[in-house]
Structure formats: structure tokens, C-alpha cells
Chains A and B, each alone.
Chain A
Amino acid sequence: EAQVTQNPRYLITVTGKKLTVTCSQNMNHEYMSWYRQDPGLGLRQIYYSMNVEVTDKGDVPEGYKVSRKEKRNFPLILESPSPNQTSLYFCASSSLAGGYETQYFGPGTRLLVL
């Protein structure tokens, strides 16, 4: 089954404690992306990656890091989380050949930073 998986699905942490949210896709997609969803603000792109070792900033990259060492994985790293990073995070992937028609979203990770 084609899917994007994210772990953990729910996370409560404290300010300053480094965390990583993993994202993995099994469709051999080149393009992967991270979004955060906040009430009244919709989805905002954090980082995206066009392929292995190719990443770029989205609209709200501050406080986040990503890496793309393997095609299937695109982890989101919060080196020093702060309360304003409390949000719902979605990972997505798509084939560049298919454009966004084939974009798949993960189930989301709900993060609470105390």
C-alpha cells in the first residue's frame, strides 16, 4: 500500500529538548516536504526536498532542520523546541513527474511544547 508514515503521531515535550519527527514514504518519490498547520493560518511549508541531498527552505523554516540522506526518509529536527512550535505537522511526498497530482500526505504529528 502506497503511504507516507510519520512518527510519533503525538508528542509532548519541554522547551529546549531536541526532538526528531520521522517521515518515510514507500513510493520512491523524489519530492518530500514538511508543513505545519495552525488554526487560522492554514498549512505553511517548512522545508522541502527535491531529491537526496537537495533541500530548500519553505515559508517558515526558522527553528527547524531537515536532512535527506535517503530517498525514502525526510526527518524534521527541532534542535531547541519552543512553545511557538506547538502545532500539527504533516509530511508529504510526490513524484516530480506527476507533479502535485500524486502528492500524498502523512497522517500528521501533533506536537505540544511546554
Chain B
Amino acid sequence: AQSVSQHNHHVILSEAASLELGCNYSYGGTVNLFWYVQYPGQHLQLLLKYFSGDPLVKGIKGFEAEFIKSKFSFNLRKPSVQWSDTAEYFCAVTADFGNEKLTFGTGTRLTIIP
């Protein structure tokens, strides 16, 4: 079965700082990877996804993520964060085409200080 680890539980940054949130997955086969964001009091929204092809994926709001197969990682990055990026971020994985079981990481709370 697949699993996802997010080692950063709470990250605090100042505005304009660069961001990198870690995500590692465990699964021996082909995977699809996702980052979701949950703003305070709201439901989850998809930031970006990786299915195949270019391992550097660009998403909404200036976020990007890089899939490194050899490291089983899919870290989320943003060069310059804004106060409005304050939210909880979840990495998720689903393994194999046709397997619709989506496994989430425990989430990383991001707080941006103005």
C-alpha cells in the first residue's frame, strides 16, 4: 500500500521568503502525485498534480513541484510567498492507473508573517 510523509508539521516564514515543503511517498510502482491547499475554514483545492512527463510541474498561484523518482519525493516550492499563502498544504498519492485510492500526508501548516 502507498503512504505519504510530510515531515514539516508547521512552517513559519516572512513574506517574500522562499518556500519548500517536503513530501516523500512510499510505493514501488508508478504513482500519481498531488498537492492540495486548504485555506482557513475552507475545503481543499488542487494546487498541482503530476501524472507523467516533465517532472517539474507548475500549478496555480505560482507554486511548482518537482518529482524526483530516485528520492521518492515531490517537494512543493514557491520562490516568494505572500501572506495569503497562509494555509495547510497536503501532499497526496495514488498508485497505478485505475486505482482510485488517494492517500494523503498529514499536512503542513504554513504561516506567513507580514
Residues in A lying within 8 Å of B, measured CB to CB:
31, 33, 35, 40-45, 48, 50, 56, 58-59, 90, 92, 96, 99-101, 103, 105-108
How far does the alpha carbon of A42 sit from the alpha carbon of B100 in the complex, in Å? 18
Q: A31-B100, A99-B51, A100-B34 are contacts. A43–B90 as well, Cβ < 8 Å?
A: yes
Which residues B34-63 have CB closer than 8 A to chain A? Answer: 34, 42-46, 49, 51
**A58 touching B43, Cβ below 8 Å:** no
Interface centre among B6, B46, B100, B106 (most CB of A within 10 A): B100
- How far apart sit A56 and B101, CA to CA, in the bound complex (Å)? 9
Nearest CB of A to B77, in Å: 20
| B24 on interface, CB distance cutoff 8 Å | no
Nearest-neighbour CB distance to chain A for B101, whole angstroms, equals 6
